[in-house]
Amino acid sequence: MFNFDFHNPTQILFGKGRIADLAKVVPANARVLILSGGGSIKHNGVLDEVHAALAGRSFQEFSGIEPNPSYENLMQAVELVRREKLDFLLAVGGGSVIDGAKFIAAAVNFEGDPWAILEKRGANITSALPFGAILTLPATGSEMNNGSVVTRKSLKAKMAFSSRHCFPQFSILDPTKTFTLPTRQIGNGVVDAYAHVMEQYMTYPADAPIQDRFAEGILLTLIEEGPKALATPDDYAVRANIMWCATLALNGLIGAGVPQDWATHMVGHELTALYNLDHAQTLAIVLPSMLRIRKEGKRAKLLQYAARVWNLTTGDEDARIDAAIEKTQAFFEQMGVKTRLGDYGVTADNIETVLGQLESHKMTMLGERRDVTLAVSRQVLELSL
């Protein structure tokens, strides 16, 4: 196992009815800005519960944070915070709203052009406003991590940053608030969480059996519970288990002390920025091909995955690996997320453009061994057509 630091200061308030506890975790004198997306929280009663819980407190609102939040839009919120001297952010929504809050929090007191935060991946953040979150879409893990992804539309650039200053102070996870998710977002969430586990687990053995077994436990639970969320969408226990899986998949626990990949995510971000695919759609397309093309480098873990997650223990090694990757892809399809570029209208003609963007964003040595060059990314994309 590698040396590691593990620090996660986010307090989780989990369960039905927990929005009522908001006033206990938002500082009493805070001048709050409530951040939200395109309106789901207005339609499903979440915003009413937030208003009730913050009765008597000082708050303003900024809505309209879009999926794959844009720098251009978030800067409007930065201006509002500066103008109104607000000092606490409350993100209410999915990963996009929470990621948006992290950027706003870091940008408000940033000296110079805040786009530099993305250019330096967050290394230049020296402080951030405090913020909390109310999660309505289990997927990204943003509710309990310090990462964020922001798109600059004018550049078609989707970039990630992280900073120790950007953990939420608290996150409220009420599984009943996920009942109104459209089918597409249920599938997206399960696929994203699954991919997060794979990016930290599917590398090479690192004498880390507890991280491996945590990871395999999350994968097995997602495989069990994901289809139930589609079949019986009003089942509280199913939604609760998926929600906790998604949080644990990317809060630092399973990734501590082990090699990490993230090549699938980096290629996926380019696909979203260029062609507007949902984040999880890009992962469902890229991950199976990434595993097929990089089979040799990942052989030992692929065999472990085949045995422990898909119960494939007999027969030829290559056949077991191939079957495990097939089952992974079939699971994404079962969750309603299509796994081919062609399913989304992206063709062979587009591959050069994707590679050009990867190059301009310095994504030319990806993966746990830094051996995912542009040539490898090309093979992966061609196999995904």
Q: Which residues bind Zn ion (CB under 5 A)?
A: 192
User: What's the gap between Cα 247 and its chain centre?
Assistant: 9
Tell me if 180 contacts ligand NZQ by CB under 6 A. yes
Beta bridge partners, 87, equal none
Task: Tell the burial category of 370 from Cβ atoms under 10 Å away from its Cβ (0-12, 13-18, 19+).
Answer: exposed
Exposure string (b/e) for 74-98, b if CB count within 10 Å is 16 or more?
Answer: bbebbebbeeeebbbbbbbbbbbbb
Shortest distance (Å) from residue 300 CB to ligand NZQ: 25
User: Where in 143-162 is the site for ligand NZQ (CB under 6 A)?
Assistant: 145, 147-149
Q: Name residue, tokens 């992290």.
A: 102
> Which option in Zn ion, ligand NZQ, none does residue 260 bind, with CB closer than 5 to 8 A by kind?
none
Q: Give Cβ neighbours of residue 113 (< 8 Å, ≥ 6 apart).
A: none
Shortest distance (Å) from residue 7 CB to ligand NZQ: 16
Tell me if 47 contacts ligand NZQ by CB under 6 A. no
Q: Which of 279, 292, 294, 327 binds ligand NZQ (CB under 6 A)?
A: 279
In angstroms, the CA 163 to CA 185 distance is 27
Reported residue count of the chain is 385
Nearer of residues 202 and 312 to ligand NZQ, judged by Cβ:
202
Q: Which of 188, 200, 251, 289 binds ligand NZQ (CB under 6 A)?
A: 188
Tell me if 141 contacts ligand NZQ by CB under 6 A. yes
> Which option in Zn ion, ligand NZQ, none does residue 40 bind, with CB closer than 5 to 8 A by kind?
ligand NZQ
Q: Give Cβ neighbours of residue 341 (< 8 Å, ≥ 6 apart).
A: 285, 347, 350, 381, 384, 385
User: What's the gap between Cα 283 and its chain centre?
Assistant: 11
Q: Which of 139, 267, 273, 324 binds ligand NZQ (CB under 6 A)?
A: 139
> Which option in ligand NZQ, Zn ion, none does residue 33 bind, with CB closer than 5 to 8 A by kind?
none
User: Where in 70-129 is the site for ligand NZQ (CB under 6 A)?
Assistant: 93-97, 99
Shortest distance (Å) from residue 195 CB to Zn ion: 6
Nearer of residues 176 and 185 to Zn ion, judged by Cβ:
185
| Cα–Cα distance list, 231 to 140, 163, 183, 217, 236 (Å) | 22, 39, 10, 22, 13
Strand order in the sheet with 11-14: 11-14, 170-173, 131-135, 88-93, 31-35, 58-62
In angstroms, the CA 88 to CA 382 distance is 46
Tell me if 286 contacts ligand NZQ by CB under 6 A. no
| Cα–Cα distance list, 164 to 133, 145, 192 (Å) | 17, 9, 23
> Which option in ligand NZQ, Zn ion, none does residue 93 bind, with CB closer than 5 to 8 A by kind?
ligand NZQ
Shortest distance (Å) from residue 263 CB to ligand NZQ: 13
Q: Which of 22, 26, 35, 40 binds ligand NZQ (CB under 6 A)?
A: 40
| Interface residue list for ligand NZQ (CB under 6 A) | 37-41, 44, 67-68, 93-97, 99, 136-137, 139-142, 145, 147-149, 177-178, 180-181, 185, 188, 192, 250, 265, 279
